[in-house]
Amino acid sequence: MTAQDYLALLPLIILASGAILLLLSIAVKRHHVFTTIVAFAALTAAFISLFFQGGPAIEISNLLVVDRFSSLFTGMIIFASAIILLLSHPYIETRAEDIEEYYILLLLATVGSITLVSSRHFMTFFLGLELLSTSLYVLLAFFREREHSIEAGIKYLILAAVSSALILFGMALVYATSGTMYFPELGQFIAAGGEDFMSLAGYAFMLGGIGFKLALVPFHMWTPDVYEGAPAPVSALIATVSKAGVFAFLLRFISESNGYSLTSLMLFLGIISAASMLLGNLLALLEKNVKKILAFSSIAHLGYLLVAFLTAGDLANEASAFYLAAYIITITGAFGIVSYLSGLKSDASDLEEYKGLFWRKPWIAAAFTIMLFSLAGLPLTAGFVSKFYVLLAGVDGGLWWLVIILIVGSTIGLFYYLRIIVTMFTRSGEDVKKEELPAASPLQAIVFFTLSALLIFIGVYPSVLIRIVSMIGGAG
């Protein structure tokens, strides 16, 4: 490996070193504030190191590739992890005794997700996936005394093991027919007409396992229970860091392995996209649990993302990157508000807990309203522009049936987002009797204000983010 290779891998090296440093420091003395500062410094340094990765794509031993595509998605993942870390500090401080391990797991989950983004080989893909998943197993059940925490961890563990088995079996079938685990060589094999029933079955098994990680229908059943049982910041981690890494991998894998030429698989993904958009929104309509509403909403949003993905080409990458950026900012802020409102024994899940929030904490309710407007795709928010971008990609690709379902699904989504907003602004005599919420910490206030301002800024001036995502070009 050359010095340029090490420079390209700097984000991974910094984050892995940060996790090791935290592990050693905890062995000497536990200190929550010190641990938080070191973890945040590692994330900040990793983000800054991305600016030294400019230039042509750098491939490392046919295993990893560092290019503009990977740098952009890596930046998104690190940004999301840093925000979640800041929101986690006040949340977990009073909820557990030995809490420093939380930050090690957060850094390792980020390393796993970044590895997925740069993967160009089945080996590095599976390594990154398992590092991400293993960290999430523990984070989900981190608060063992909670009623649904262990349940959420066990459900995710069992189903994630099944999805990993599907992916491994799919990779074995693809390797058996093509003789390679390197994506560009696999693309040459498919382009030469090498696909047969076994290779198609391999792709299908892999997409099934990836569908679980992205919580796409019909692999979505774990999502509401896991989101409800997990600590609110961990739910945000699953919705952003985990899904961004897996989706970026899917973009690169299908693009470089010539998967777009497999018509039957694209139809399969189209049906999954339509089912996710419709079922995710319809199930959210029936819920009165805010964390479950956000969980079902995430299913629908990944369905929207697949519309852009299926159009192929540079526009698909740009629309997907823009949508993911807006979604990461929005859903991280939404779960941040949930974590702020949560009690010691359980999170603020029931819709009734949000009743009259505007009259008790007006600026918190205003920030949550902006985030819900963005999730609904209303004008003057980043969500509106991102959804328009996906619609544009769908129209450009001629996917009219998916575009129509996207519009119908977005219309359905308006109802449950507005229901939360109306609940927050509803005032009754009981609101006065409710226990006064504690003042938000300066850290929380800064994060909520920054995320809300970003959503409005991107909604009003989207050209800044559009210019950034338009630089990525093709995946690889």
DSSP 22-83: HHHHHHH---HHHHHHHHHHHHHHHHHHGGG--SS-EEETTTEEESHHHHHHHHHHHHHHHH
Distance between CA atoms of 409 and 307, rounded to whole angstroms?
A: 13
Q: How many Å is the Cα radius of gyration of the chain? A: 21
Task: Report residue 432's pLDDT band, with 50, 70 and 90 as the boundaries.
Answer: very low
Cα angle 64, 68, 71; round to 5: 70
Question: Which is higher by pLDDT, 54 or 368?
Answer: 368
pLDDT of residue 117: 93
Task: Report residue 331's pLDDT band, with 50, 70 and 90 as the boundaries.
Answer: very high
Read off the pLDDT of residues 74-132 as tens digits, 9 standing for 90 and up.
999 999 999 999 998 888 877 666 788 889 999 999 999 999 999 999 999 999 999 99
| Average model confidence (pLDDT) across the chain | 87
> Maximum CA pair distance of the chain?
72
Read off the pLDDT of residues 235-280 as tens digits, 9 standing for 90 and up.
999 999 999 999 999 999 998 888 888 888 889 999 999 999 999 9
pLDDT of residue 30: 83
* Residues 64/120, Cβ–Cβ less than 8 Å: yes
b (16+ CB within 10 A) / e for 78-105: bbbbbbbbbbbbbbbeebeeebbbbbbb
pLDDT of residue 52: 82
Beta-carbon contacts of residue 381 (< 8 Å; ≥ 6 apart) = 370, 373, 374, 455, 456, 458, 459
Task: Report residue 61's pLDDT band, with 50, 70 and 90 as the boundaries.
Answer: confident
* Residues 158/358, Cβ–Cβ less than 8 Å: no
Cis peptide bond upstream of 231, omega within 30: no
pTM of the model: 0.92
Distance between CA atoms of 179 and 198, rounded to whole angstroms?
A: 13
- Residue closest to 84 by CA, chosen among 213, 231, 302, 185: 231
- Residue closest to 102 by CA, chosen among 76, 138, 129: 138
Beta-carbon contacts of residue 438 (< 8 Å; ≥ 6 apart) = none
Which tokens go with 118?
Answer: 């740069």
Read off the pLDDT of residues 193-252 as tens digits, 9 standing for 90 and up.
767 788 889 999 999 999 999 999 888 888 888 888 888 889 999 999 999 999 999 999
Distance between CA atoms of 352 and 357, rounded to whole angstroms?
A: 10
Which of these ranges, 92-101, 137-146, 314-323, has the smallest mean pLDDT?
92-101
Distance between CA atoms of 235 and 212, rounded to whole angstroms?
A: 16
* Residues 195/173, Cβ–Cβ less than 8 Å: no
Task: Report residue 476's pLDDT band, with 50, 70 and 90 as the boundaries.
Answer: very low
pLDDT of residue 175: 92
